[in-house]
Amino acid sequence: MLKKWLGITLALLFLIGLTACGEDEKVDENAFVGDKVDYEIIGIDPGAGIMGQTNDVLSEYGLKEKWELTESSGAAMTASLDNAIDDKEPIIVTGWIPHWMFIQYDLKMLKDPKKVYGGEEKIKTLIRKGLKEDMPNAYKFFDQFHWEPEDLQKVMLKIEDGQSEQDAAKEWVENNEDLVNTWIKGVKPGNGAELRVPYVAWADVIASSNVIKYVLENKLDFEVELLQVEPGPMFASIADGSADAMIGAWLPSTHAPYYKKYKNDLVDLGVNLTGTRNGLVVPAYMDIDSIKDLKAEK
Ligand code: PBE
């Protein structure tokens, strides 16, 4: 009898212990944001401009000691964000506008009072030297290519919703004839001439590269080979002439290190989109507003 009671009591004690542990592990709603997210910021691929900027953010805001920027990829970052939002858990990621994630989720970009991310940026078109002379019509097209963040965001969202990159590009182009006509105005068909376009697998550059490929191939009879590469080689291939044009250079801040390195060996065709922004992004349900809030002692 005694043995039995002892057994039950022990079992009960064990259960109580377990519950207590469980509660300890739960995120305390009032805890400091750093403790809630284990002082981790989910980044993307290491060569991305936003990764260098985020490292500068950690230094400039005095966060270097405690905080860690984790490398992943654009796709893995959005997957982590999606999981966290499903469970209403806290998370901090590196993010940028335009991006479908701002349409899909209720998010906020943390204020950056020190402007380490550089504020509003532009996307530029860069081409290899000699393209103007060798392929004046392709040159004219790239020179005339220009659109708005909302356009790009629409294509990105279609891809995220499950459409293939090619179909999303096609649908957008066919629905935006007036704008597309300004890009191809006065451009003579390429008669099958080949163009090599390097791009990095970031949601925005995937979308824009597929759009220009569709236009060049279906409205102008060029052949476009899209080459998926790392950020460094994207710039290097234009500078050494092994590729013809890239349309995803974020400047003046994001890609400043690459631009500085290669600017004398390529041709800058100017801005194709205005109004991008980089930063640290959190779900709207988190109670922080500024990068400054990541520092414990305020
Ligand atoms: N991005 C999107 C890129 C440029 C385009 C912000 C992730 C980068 O950080 O290099």
Residues 145 and 81 in one domain: no
Of ligand 1's listed atoms, the one at least distance from the Cα of 250 is 4
The chain-wide mean pLDDT, for the chain, equals 92
Mean pLDDT of 18-32: 60
Q: How many CB atoms lie within 10 A of CB 159?
A: 19
Mean pLDDT of 142-155: 96
**How close is the Cα of 188 to the center of ligand 1, in Å?**
33
**How close is the Cα of 183 to the center of ligand 1, in Å?**
24
Domain count, the chain: 2
Domain containing 41 equals 32-119+280-294
Of ligand 1's listed atoms, the one at least distance from the Cα of 203 is 2
Nearest CA owner, ligand 1 atom 2: 202
Q: What angle do CA 128, 267, 194 make, to 5 degrees?
A: 30
- State the pTM of this model: 0.87
Q: Which of 41, 42, 44 is the best mutation target for the ligand 1 pocket, counting ligand atoms within 8 Å of the beta carbon and taking the most?
A: 44
Identify whether 125 is part of a domain.
yes
Q: What is the CATH number of the domain that holds 235?
A: 3.10.105.10
- Predicted confidence at residue 57, as pLDDT, reads 98
Asked whether the predicted pLDDT for residue 19 surpasses 80, the reply is no
Identify whether 18 is part of a domain.
no
Ligand 1 is surrounded, with C-beta below 6 A, by 44, 48-50, 96, 202, 204-205, 231, 248, 250, 254-255, 278
Q: What is the pLDDT confidence band of residue 125, given thresholds at 50, 70 and 90?
A: very high
Which pLDDT tens digit goes with each residue over 26-78?
A: 567 788 999 999 999 999 999 999 999 999 999 999 999 999 999 999 999 99
**How close is the Cα of 256 to the center of ligand 1, in Å?**
12
pLDDT > 90: percent of the chain? 88
Identify whether 196 is part of a domain.
yes
Which pLDDT tens digit goes with each residue over 249-272?
A: 999 999 999 999 999 999 999 999
- Predicted confidence at residue 21, as pLDDT, reads 46
Residues 91 and 235 in one domain: no
Residues 252 and 284 in one domain: no
Q: What is the pLDDT confidence band of residue 298, given thresholds at 50, 70 and 90?
A: low
Identify whether 93 is part of a domain.
yes
**How close is the Cα of 94 to the center of ligand 1, in Å?**
10
